[in-house]
Structure formats: structure tokens, C-alpha cells
Amino acid sequence: MERAGVMSVALTLSLLLTAASLLASVADGCDGVPRMSAVDACKQASTAGVMWQLCVRELGASPEPEEVTGFVAAAMRANREAYGVSYDAAEKVRVDPSSPAGLATVSGYCEGKYDTAQELMTGWIDRLPGCDITADIRVDLASAAAAVDECATLLLQNGGEHTTLYQMVLLDRDRAVLAVRLAILLVPNKV
């Protein structure tokens, strides 16, 4: 459990540094893209206190207006990094000879779902800096969130609800939903 806590702190610090650098690296201006502060973006994208906390951890709490494109890119990059950690955790459960057979099988399925989520996001991460933004971003990010949610559901159904992997997947699902909600803020002026 102590190791999981250290990994969580390390991941959080890494995500914060990634978000800060990425907000600065997105294109200097995409026509028609709304600008708002990270605080306002988090208010609009959050559905509950937990989502608000996650958003502020990923985007910061700057009151200065910035392009929403940067927030979406930061959320997707943070997700990509977190998904890699969860993928590795699922692989460890799958190959662990002491894992129950059902849980090992589901963990392998989760690896595939994380591959899908990564693939859906990676194309957009590459496109956003060039201002190549369409409404399809919402569909792709919602599909990525659904893939992570399918993993969570299967873990729950197969006795994995008390595992560290399940907790990681739930947090990833919340991150995925946050990315979708931020993309919704981005797209209205781009369709």
C-alpha cells in the first residue's frame, strides 16, 4: 500500500508538470476557440466536488484566461500518462500466477481497452497544436471514456472491486470524462 501511495504522489507531480508545460506549448491561437481561466474551465467541466478537485490538479487554478485548446491537450496528455501506468498494472495482474483466473482474464481485456483509449486520444493530441479541431473530438474522447468504463465494469463484475487496479481505473474513468467535458467547451465554436 505504501508503494501505491508513492506511485500516486509521483504520478500527480508528473501530471502537474506535464499540464503546466503543455498549456504553454499549445498553438498561440486557434481562430474561434474560447478563452477562459483554468478555474472557469474547471467550474464548467466539473459535475461534482471530486471532478473539480481532479480538474484543478490537472489544469491548475490560474485565474488568467487561456485557450481551452490548452486545457484539453493537458487533460489528454495527463490521461495518456495515467493510462500507461494503469495498463502496466493490468498487465501485472494478468501475468501474476496468484491472480484469480477471472481477474487475470479481465485484466487482459483492460489492456486492450486502454490501447483503444490511447489510440483515440493520440491522434487528437497531435492535431490540437495545429488547430485541426472538429466535433469528432467529442466522439473520440467519449469512446475513450467508454473503453475505460468497460474495464471498470468488468473488474467490478469479476471480483476486482477491492484491488488497486480497480481504484486506478475509476480515477482514469473520471479523468476521461473530464477530458470529454473540456472538449465540449472547446468544440461549440468549431463545428
Q: How far apart are CA 184 and CA 188, in angstroms?
A: 7
pLDDT-flagged residues of the chain (< 50):
1, 6-7, 9-27, 191
Per-residue confidence (pLDDT) for residue 26, from 0 to 100: 41
Per-residue confidence (pLDDT) for residue 4, from 0 to 100: 53
In the chain, what are the domains? 2-189 (1.20.140.40)
Does the pTM surpass 0.85? The reply is: no
Q: Within 10 Å of residue 25's Cβ, how many Cβ atoms? A: 13
